[in-house]
Amino acid sequence: MSEQETTVFEKLQKSAIIAVLILDRVEDGVPLAEALLAGGVDAMELTLRTPAAIGALKEITARVPGMLAGIGTILTTDQVKEVVDAGAAFGVAPGMNPRIVEAALAAGLPFAPGICTPSDIERALEFERKFLKFFPAEPSGGLKYLESIAAPYAHLGVKYIPLGGVNPSNCQTWLSHPLVGGIGGSWLAPKPLIAAGNWKAIQDAAEQAIAIRDGIFRSGKA
């Protein structure tokens, strides 16, 4: 793992909460990032599910320097180049596609592929990936399932970011577990709040998540 990757993944683990976002309008990117940052969330993943993600990323990296902004749902090698050119701090994928990982490594993009099975983990380890997205987390069996599939690799120091069904009612349980290096929070800024420009509600959700995180950190459970 490169020094750049190590630095980025250490920052993500320190942040622990990564806002996962779907944007329909480029102009929503900056006020959204500012609202999250005001609430204490300083890491975000813009998903490539809409055309606005790349433009929003460029705006955020230029105007909100305190935000660690990456791109998710990277599905093609062309997208790897696109997100690197746009200045993404990191990349994430829903699955473990060797071609995408190879392209990300060649481009110098800190990259976390998605896993859901032991075979996925082993393929990721072949590329020295030890910071992995666990997706879909709750539908796959939740924390109990992750404990089972991760057990054979625990001595290697692999950390997981669960996404999919993670919410305010279970995020404390996820964050408290030593396997978890952070959580993906799509509930922090749902599309209706973004569409309405309700930045205060998004800031409030961020503050509540950070309060849970800080309580765990103070207790020494994470």
pLDDT tens digits for range 16-57: 999 999 999 999 999 999 999 999 999 999 999 999 999 999
Count CB-CB contacts under 10 A for residue 38: 15
Residues in the chain where the model's pLDDT stays below 70: 221-222
d(CA 97, CA 116): 13
Bridge partners (DSSP) of residue 115 are 134
- Please tell me the predicted confidence (pLDDT) of residue 145: 98
Q: Is 133 a catalytic residue?
A: yes
Instruction: Say if pTM beats, i.e. exceeds, 0.85.
Output: yes
Integer Rg of the chain from CA: 16
Which amino acid is residue 73, in one-letter code?
Answer: T
Q: Is 45 a catalytic residue?
A: yes
Full set of structural domains in the chain with CATH: 3-215 (3.20.20.70)
Burial 149-162 (b: 16+ CB within 10 A, else e): bbeebeeeebbbbb
- Please tell me the predicted confidence (pLDDT) of residue 222: 54
Active-site residue (options: 133, 144, 191, 200): 133
Residues 183, 166 contacting (CB under 8 angstroms): yes
Tokens of 29: 């990117």
Active-site residue (options: 34, 45, 130, 159): 45
